[in-house]
Amino acid sequence: MRRRVELGLVVLAALIILAAYVLVSLGSDASVPANVGPFFGAVLALMIAAHIATRRLAPNADSLLLPLAILLNGIGYVFIVRVANDVKGAKDLPGLQATWTLLGVAAYIITLFVLRRVRVLDRYRYTFMAIGVALLLMPLTPGLGREVSGARIWIRFAGLSFQPGEIAKIALAIFFASYLVEHREVLKMGSFKFGPLHLPEPKHLGPLGLAWGVSLVVLVMERDLGSSLLFFAVFVTMVWIATERSAYLLIGLLLFSGGAYASYQKFDHVQTRVEAWTDPWQDPKGKGFQIIEGSFSMAEGGLTGTGLGLGRPYKVPKVETDFIFAAIGEELGLVGSTAILIAFLLIVASGLRIAVRARQPFEKLLAAGLTALIGIQAFIIIGGVTRVVPLTGITLPFVSYGGSSLLANYVLLALLVRISDESAGPTRRPVVPRRRRYREPDPADLSEAAG
């Protein structure tokens, strides 16, 4: 039944993406695109391939996750096509995004095929920690790391650019889940008193300090406020879920606030981000230009939007990556923006439901951590566009242009689907040997035995 529902939602998502693709062409060129048939066939083929893989490899999985992810991915692709013809140097972006989408779906299928039991990941806890930290700090390697838009979060190898932090966040989420499950009882204890707070011994707070230190290295050395905030926020959330103690939320907030304030006082790039957030009109043609244009773009959309292909989102710098939500707000209005928010809320709700239903503590905490990654990342980038928080420059999951982000998010999706399948599958009951029924001995048998 779940797979039938998923198939229906997948077909519906394909029809919505097709309609949006046609409307964008009609709005900008007043003509139906010549490749509408091949486009629809390719979209439907990718979706059906992912659906069949889920049906065969995870038959009991949640039926909402895959259609929602594909819908967001398709809408994002349509808007990348929309701005590609009007943004200088962006004509190749639709083709690249289509290639990365294909690779992302392939990564989703491969992850489901290779990983049959999520519990296996728990055995390689420190391996994932080493991989995550190495990937997170890889852009600092001389000759390998590249600085883009003031942030050093990219590496370039063999002619290809990649953002290793996108893969690092999944590896570190696996390590956090494994470590916290084993040490949660120790972290719950409050034998050490610090003011009004009862905390565990300082030696048990090492991982919290390590996560704080790595996040500050990312913030200071790589100049990446978004990844730093995302990394530390997810870790503190997982600690809170594992221990059920709100004191860790307060400690995490104080640690990150202190580090962020010190970085603001010392580093110019942090000051630029904060000043553009608090008052972009101080420098409307410089550091505040992107935020101002994004605000004008969303204001132009109003309630129902200007219509697909009828707006001017290409005036916003980096609209295909940082500000794609502003483009959606302009051409689909508040209604379309709310629909995107609802899609993310449904993904988060499905992920939390999977975490609640998971049978083992490791799977519970990992599902919660992976869900927090998507939810917090979406909040940070949408909050930056709408000036709720400082602009960070990270991508909107499944929607923004970015190959490494798309690839990592499909792997994350496969992990959630696998946990969901294990949680909803039939429970194996232990085999209990039957007891022999007591039978009165036959007198004839007793006499034969005595003879």
- Read out DSSP for 71-128? HHHHHHHHHHHHHHTTSTT-TTHHHHHHHHHHHHHHHHHHHHHH-S-GGGGGGGHHHH
Token pair 């062409």: residue:
25
More confident position, 316 or 150: 316
Token pair 């998502």: residue:
13
* Banded model confidence at residue 428, pLDDT cuts 50, 70, 90: very low
Residue 153 token pair: 């979060």
Q: 71-102: per-residue pLDDT in tens?
A: 999 999 999 988 887 777 778 888 889 999 99
Q: What is the mean pLDDT of residues 358-386?
A: 91
Residue 434 token pair: 């039957």
Q: What is the mean pLDDT of residues 321-326?
A: 88
pLDDT for the residue 433: 47
Q: What is the mean pLDDT of residues 304-332?
A: 89
Q: What is the mean pLDDT of residues 43-56?
A: 92
Q: What is the mean pLDDT of the chain?
A: 83
Residue 106 token pair: 């392939």
Nearest-5° Cα angle at 74, 68 to 76? 105
Q: What is the mean pLDDT of residues 9-13?
A: 92
pLDDT for the residue 160: 72
Say if residue 41's pLDDT is above 80: yes
Contact between 41 and 47 under an 8 Å Cβ cutoff? The reply is no
Residue 228 token pair: 């730093």
- Rounded Cα distance between 385 and 403, Å, is 21
pLDDT for the residue 311: 87
* Banded model confidence at residue 271, pLDDT cuts 50, 70, 90: confident
Nearest-5° Cα angle at 370, 347 to 324? 55
* Banded model confidence at residue 3, pLDDT cuts 50, 70, 90: confident
pLDDT for the residue 104: 93
- Rounded Cα distance between 105 and 407, Å, is 8
Residue 416 token pair: 């959630």
- Rounded Cα distance between 292 and 104, Å, is 33
For 397, which DSSP code? T
- pLDDT cut 70: percent of the chain above it: 86
Residue 147 token pair: 């600085």
The count of other CB atoms within 10 Å of the CB of residue 369 is 28
Contact between 267 and 220 under an 8 Å Cβ cutoff? The reply is yes
Q: Considering the entire predicted model, what is its pTM?
A: 0.88
- Rounded Cα distance between 315 and 313, Å, is 5
* Banded model confidence at residue 149, pLDDT cuts 50, 70, 90: low
Token pair 């990342």: residue:
377
Token pair 């991508």: residue:
395
pLDDT for the residue 283: 84
pLDDT for the residue 446: 47
Nearest-5° Cα angle at 353, 348 to 415? 70
The separation between CA 109 and the C-alpha centre of its own chain, rounded to angstroms, equals: 17
Among 53-57, 135-139, 265-269, top mean pLDDT goes to: 53-57
